[in-house]
Amino acid sequence: MLNQDGSFNVDRRGLKYFEEKGIYHWLISMRWTRFVLLLFSGYVVINFIFACLYMIAGTNNLDGMKAVTFGGRFMEAFFFSSQTLTTVGYGRLNPAGMWSNIIAALESLAGLMTLALATGILYGRFSRPSAKILFSHNALISPYKDITALMFRIANQRSNQLIELEASISFSFLNKHDRSHREFRNLTLERSKINFFPTTWTIVHPIDDESPMRHFKANDFLDSEAEIIILLKAFDDTFSQTVYNRSSYRAEEIIFGAKFNIIFGQNDKGVVTVDLHRINEHEIIPLPEYS
């Protein structure tokens, strides 16, 4: 159900495109190439429209024109518009007549407002907080004290300080008796919150007598199309904002009987090192009860 980018794979009908998206959301979440293209073509279109208006007002109202052909005069009007919109205003070309003055006065105001929105959105896109969490590729069922536990390992991919990191995990599976019905259960964690997150965190759900997984064999996970859905919440000290991160493990991504290797070390200067390349490294430990 959860897409790679953290959005949900659901088709919601009965909404128009912009009603669903919201223009701000659309502008702030579109891809960069598309955003730059949109900005650029909007700039061309607006200048084209104002160039037409200056032509209608009469180019003899624009002082300083040199071109004599219609095309040349339109071109000059177009560039005069761009100089007004961006408030560069070189001034060789300048409005002399009443109408061209009115159009230019409105264009410079409209230009300031539109470009303020554009720059605001540009900066909003740029400064959007996002926790980049590295997840181990697999979730493991590992021996844990006298029982077993579901475990996965995460690391902070950025050097942003994440503070008060909280995890909240759900277990979703198709009902055994009615496969059209998908159930959701919360999984209790050995520890659900850490104050600091400098290295890695292995999140552990002990499969005890209370666990909704207690009767699941390896086959049951696959048959019931089980999915582990993860919500992480933290305060990002760089952006001074709360950030969330979502991910999930499908049944095929669970390894039944394995243990994560330690990826800590110490360098020459005695500094703790952690090798994020090895975040998914684990060794197989057969668990007879899951075969």
Residues 57 to 96 in contact with a second copy, rule: CB under 8 A = 63-64, 66, 75, 79, 82-84, 86-96
**Closest distance to a second copy from the beta carbon of 246 (Å):** 8
Stretch that binds a second copy, among 40-48, 135-143, 210-218, 249-257 (CB under 8 A): 40-48
Q: Is 12 in the site for a second copy (CB under 8 A)?
A: yes
Secondary structure class of 50 (helix, strand, coil) = helix
Q: In terms of CB distance, is 257 or 279 closer to a second copy?
A: 279
DSSP class of residue 171 equals: E
Which span (135-143, 150-158, 211-219, 252-260) binds a second copy, by CB under 8 A?
Answer: 150-158
Smallest distance, Å, CB 192 to a second copy? 13
* Minimal distance, residue 208 CB to a second copy, in Å: 22
Cβ 234 vs Cβ 154: under 8 Å: no
Angle (CA) 262 266 272, round 5°:
85
Q: Which of 136, 106, 125 is nearest to 275 (CA)?
A: 136
Q: Of the candidates 162, 184, 160, which has an alpha carbon nearest to the alpha carbon of residue 172?
A: 184
Least distance to a second copy from the beta carbon of 124, Å?
7
CA-based torsion, 101, 105, 106, 111: positive or negative: positive
Residues 230-289 binding a second copy (CB under 8 A) are 231, 233, 235, 237-244, 246, 267, 271-278
| Bridge partners, residue 153, by sequence | 202
Using left for φ > 0, alpha for ψ between -120 and 50, and beta otherwise, residue 6 falls in: left
Candidate list 6, 41, 147, 285; residue touching a second copy; CB under 8 A? 6
Q: Smallest distance from the beta carbon of 119 to a second copy, in angstroms? A: 3
Query: Using CB under 8 A, which residues numbered 89 to 148 contact a second copy?
Result: 89-96, 98, 101, 104-105, 108-109, 111-113, 115-124, 126-129, 132
- Residue 192: name the closest of 200, 182, 202, 179 by CA: 202
